[in-house]
Amino acid sequence: MRLILDHKDLTDSFFEDTRLLGIMAPVKDYQFCWQLNNLFGFDFRINNDIEIQLTRKQRHYFFAVYEFAEKYNSLVHYLYNNQFDGEYLLPEFKHLDFLWLLKGDVVSDYALLQLINSLRTLKGVQLVVELTDEKIRNKEHLVF
């Protein structure tokens, strides 16, 4: 008897109660995190345990993930690098440099809009958009 892992169910449960932003900001990830930490009072840190690894064309690609957990609720922020060495974590969004996943608690439309508007004030940020499930073809790449 063989058991088959259902990636769709796994992916769907991972994305339950999440919000995802796409950010165009052609700056280094550590510089961007420093700006976010200063603006919001966050403490984004790289988490090598959840780094995303993909293999394409017999090469390995490593996409850094930064993490910040809020103190007084269960909301966790994950900032993914969308590019590594000419490859993309979400190839359908090649124009985006970062993906910001909010997971673990409900984020209201108002709170998300405030976050988006604050992000747009950062130096180097050219675009901030919410990415909805229907727009994402390779969302299993974001599951860690």
Q: Domains, the chain, ranges and CATH?
A: 7-142 (3.30.310)
pTM over 0.85: yes
Q: Which residues of the chain are modeled with pLDDT < 50?
A: none
> Mind listing the pLDDT tens digit for each residue in 82-113?
999 889 999 999 999 999 999 999 999 999 99
Sequence-ordered strand ranges (E) for the chain: 18-24, 45-46, 52-56, 59-63, 65-69, 76-81, 83-84, 87-88, 98-103, 127-130
In sequence order, the 6+-apart residues with CB closer than 8 A to the CB of 87 are 54, 56, 59, 61
